[in-house]
Chains A and B, each alone.
Chain A
């Protein structure tokens, strides 16, 4: 089992056939190779090969049950929490390190790979406590530092102006969209490198959705974002790359505009044009 410690970003290897328009020279941050994933005896992912670029938004699309959320949850090992799940073959490397390696602590991994969930889940604590939660569990208790992080994260999540006067009120008093942005702020407060978003807008109204999309556009300057979405428009609007999954297999991965304009695979075309799903 490989537990490489090389932290150098893996450059796109020439041996790998580059996808047609993927010549932008982005460095690969996450390298998934030959991944097979099982829920108990049921195979959920089949031989996934995917290179996710650094500081870009990558969208996973596909019909329900196609494995896109499963793959997302593999990336910060949230699947570990479900009994009977296992990576039976293949590797996922983040910055060259196999995250399923024996010496990898999932706790440390999750500090670097944050996650925003489908249902906004602010803790029933104050806005301030929500943001500082991640730092406090890491043992940071310095008030000045926490204050700084709270402001920085809330500004980063475009929420500061809306909540700066009620930082000590419950996070549950916010609207749905604000709650989801609070969750994003909470995630960026621990300064991860990658943010996974599992259908972050599926419970939001269009305006709140637009705000979150706006935010994603801002965040990609600092973070690598992977977003699972059921909304094709959302994938088209927000992402730079799009991966289409069907029945646990990666059907097509390309620049977003190619996926939506000129998909190579007829299944992709059928899905993005709404003819099945």
Chain B
């Protein structure tokens, strides 16, 4: 027997020892499996979607010297046809111009008008600019509403309300609301805002529907953030003769803000990605005007918008599938991922900045 196995702390083989390493491996494999699946999905979207976005870059003569058809143009129908032995793919506008020009050219040359026999694919050309705009508007508006309502209610629940059975019931109800499927929120929004308030399919109805959907998350997380502010800050302030609101405003809310923002990051990702709540309340399949092209300012709130997730839903399930539509699907998903990542990143940066400023 060598000395290493005789000393006091030498490993002793046994069931516990064997289980230890087996369990560690199971956990490890589970984690990496999840990671692999996630990576696969992301890679697929990036692999198939990135070319659509990147290919549509074009140089321009004036500022900003570069433009991107896919990002900054409205969706169009794609026409694919063979002309003079050459296969061409043109968007609707370009196709009409081309045909006009060719017909005029032929007329000038005294030839018979050329015949065009294009195969057309809906939404397969152009870009997704209105969807981006719509999504950003929906996110900004609904988060504004959700944060103001949610933080107000969180402050009430955690700072003002007494700990009664009723308040506990409210809290439980809010918590349960977080688990309600989003389609239910969609129907609720449709019944409440679209029909009952007669807002029709509009930004406003979409904002409120989305806001109500994320409110449980915002309230719960804000309450947690408020609770995590040390009791001493409140007591110290109150002991100096501050009122409750002075205390909250000057000495609690600033320090809870990073936590509240963290929760709203989750909310943003969810709001941006939801299809169900907006499909009855705010989203249009297609709309040729951008949201700010309205006659009256008031109309702004009462117009429907296009939105990325809904666009993905439409192009991937409501129209015949082929190679051309697939490009749009993946391209849109890619852009969508990019936007969500961007929003999340900026929220995190903002949160870290605040956290640096209000550190304790």
Q: Which residues of A come within 8 Å of B, CB atoms?
A: 76, 78, 81, 83, 107-108, 110-111, 114-115, 117, 119, 121-124, 133-134, 137-138, 170, 172, 183, 186-187, 190
**B residues near A110, Cβ cutoff 8 Å:** 238-241
Tier of interface size on chain B: 20 to 34
**Taking the complex as formed, is B162 at the interface, i.e. its CB lies under 8 A from any CB of chain A?**
yes
* B232 and A172 form a contact (CB under 8 A): no
* A78 and B237 form a contact (CB under 8 A): no
* A187 and B255 form a contact (CB under 8 A): no
**A residues near B255, Cβ cutoff 8 Å:** 124
Secondary structure class of chain B's binding surface, majority of residues: helix
Contact of A134 among B230, B232, B240, B358 (CB under 8 A): B240
**Taking the complex as formed, is B243 at the interface, i.e. its CB lies under 8 A from any CB of chain A?**
yes
Kindly list the 8 A-B residue pairs having the minimum CB-CB distance in the complex, ordered from nearest: A121-B232, A111-B241, A134-B240, A124-B360, A115-B239, A110-B241, A121-B236, A137-B242
**A residues near B246, Cβ cutoff 8 Å:** 137
**A residues near B237, Cβ cutoff 8 Å:** 123, 133, 137
* B239 and A172 form a contact (CB under 8 A): no
Contact of A137 among B240, B358, B359 (CB under 8 A): B240
Residue in B230, B240, B242, B251 with the greatest tally of chain A CB atoms within 10 Å: B240
**B residues near A119, Cβ cutoff 8 Å:** 232
Q: When chains A and B are docked, how far (Å) is the Cα of A115 from the Cα of B236?
A: 8
Q: When chains A and B are docked, how far (Å) is the Cα of A133 from the Cα of B255?
A: 16
* B238 and A78 form a contact (CB under 8 A): yes
Q: Which residues of B come within 8 Å of A, CB atoms?
A: 162-163, 230, 232-243, 246, 250-251, 255, 358-360
Residue in A108, A110, A137, A187 with the greatest tally of chain B CB atoms within 10 Å: A137
**B203 → chain A closest CB, angstroms:** 39
Q: When chains A and B are docked, how far (Å) is the Cα of A217 from the Cα of B113?
A: 108
Q: When chains A and B are docked, how far (Å) is the Cα of A183 from the Cα of B242?
A: 15
Q: When chains A and B are docked, how far (Å) is the Cα of A115 from the Cα of B239?
A: 6
**B residues near A122, Cβ cutoff 8 Å:** 236
**A111 → chain B closest CB, angstroms:** 4
* B163 and A190 form a contact (CB under 8 A): no
Kindly list 12 other residue pairs between chains A and B, CB separation below 8 angstroms, not including A81-B234, A111-B240, A124-B255: A76-B239, A111-B241, A117-B235, A121-B230, A121-B236, A134-B240, A137-B237, A137-B240, A137-B241, A137-B243, A186-B236, A190-B241
